[in-house]
Structure 1
Amino acid sequence: MRLIHPFHPRSGEVFEFLERMNSWRGDVVLVLDSAGRRCSFPVEWTDVAPVDVFVVTAAGRCPFRAEDLCALADLVERFRDQGLSGVGEMTP
């Protein structure tokens, strides 16, 4: 298994795959590093996860997906509709 998260200090490193499991953090892979230590990573940080077509197509040129920006715009609009203009005015 290869760690592919671009900002992780161990990105590109190959680990011995042990298992994929669901934990309190979500979907993770358990691996052994070159020193034989057990560690885990979120599946999406590894080559175990399916390739995100957007990430491949964007090739580092776009940090945001259109659907995520649209969801953010909808959220902001809902706050405006409720008359909430500042963080201090938001209620849980």
Structure 2
Amino acid sequence: MQLIRPFHPRCGEDFEFLERLNSWRGDVVLVLDGQGHRCSFPLEWTDMAPVDAFVAAAGGGCPYRTGDLVELADLVAARVPGGRGGVGGMAP
């Protein structure tokens, strides 16, 4: 199993799949990393998730989903002094 979340520091890393679970926030995969440590990731952050229709339709021309870019913009805005706190100045 590979982590494909573009903004995650471990993106592209391979993990040994252990189990798929349903948690309060949705489907999660339990994995082992290269050092044998157990960790979990949301299913949609992995290559086990169904292919996003927008990414497939873009044919490789746009590797990022709109929701991912909005989330990144919100994270950056929250860290910038005087940031507006959300995309377009809207509160998250």
Q: Which residue of 1 aligns with 2:14?
A: 14
**What is the aligned partner in structure 2 of residue 74 from structure 1?**
none
Name the TM-score, length of structure 1 as normaliser: 0.63
The higher radius of gyration belongs to 1
TM-score, with structure 2 as normaliser? 0.63
Q: Residues 34 and 55 (structure 1 numbering): CA distance in 2 closer, same or farther, change over 3 Å?
A: same
RMSD: 2.2
Q: Secondary structure at the match of 2:66?
A: coil
Query: How big is the shift at 1:61?
Result: 7.3
Structure 1 stretches of 4+ with a deviation exceeding 4 A read none
Query: SS of 1:6's equivalent?
Result: coil
What CA distance in whole angstroms lies between the structure 2 residues aligned with 1:2 and 1:57? 22
- The unaligned stretches of length 5 or more in structure 1 are 66-86, 88-92
Change (3 A) 1:42 1:62: closer
Matched positions, count = 66
Instruction: Find the aligned partners of 2:28 and 2:47 in 1 and give their Cα distance.
Output: 12
Contact 2:55 2:63 survives alignment (8 Å): no
* Structure 2 alignment gaps of length 5 or more: 68-89
